[in-house]
Amino acid sequence: MRSLAYWIVSQRGPMGPHTYEPYYPIGLLLLIAVIGFAAVLLFFPSLERVKPDRSLRPEVKRREEERTPEETWDTGARSRGQALEVVLRLLEPNEKKVVEAIVAAGGDMLQKDISYELGFSRVKTHRVIVKLLRRGVVTAEKHYNTNRVELADWIKEG
Domain locations along the chain: 4-43, 47-157
Question: 110: Cβ–Cβ under 8 A, 6 or more apart, which residues?
Answer: 143, 146, 147, 148, 149
Asked whether residue 43 carries a pLDDT value surpassing 80, the answer given is no
Instruction: Tell me how crowded residue 111 is: count the other CB atoms within 10 A of its CB.
Output: 20
The share of the chain scoring above pLDDT 70, in percent, equals 69
Strand order in the sheet with 146-151: 108-110, 146-151, 138-143
DSSP 48: G
Write down the pTM of the prediction.
0.60
Domain 47-157, architecture per CATH:
Orthogonal Bundle (1.10)
Q: How far apart are CA 19 and CA 28, in angstroms?
A: 18
Asked whether residue 53 carries a pLDDT value surpassing 60, the answer given is yes
Describe the chain by its helix, strand, coil percentages, rounded to 5: 60, 10, 30
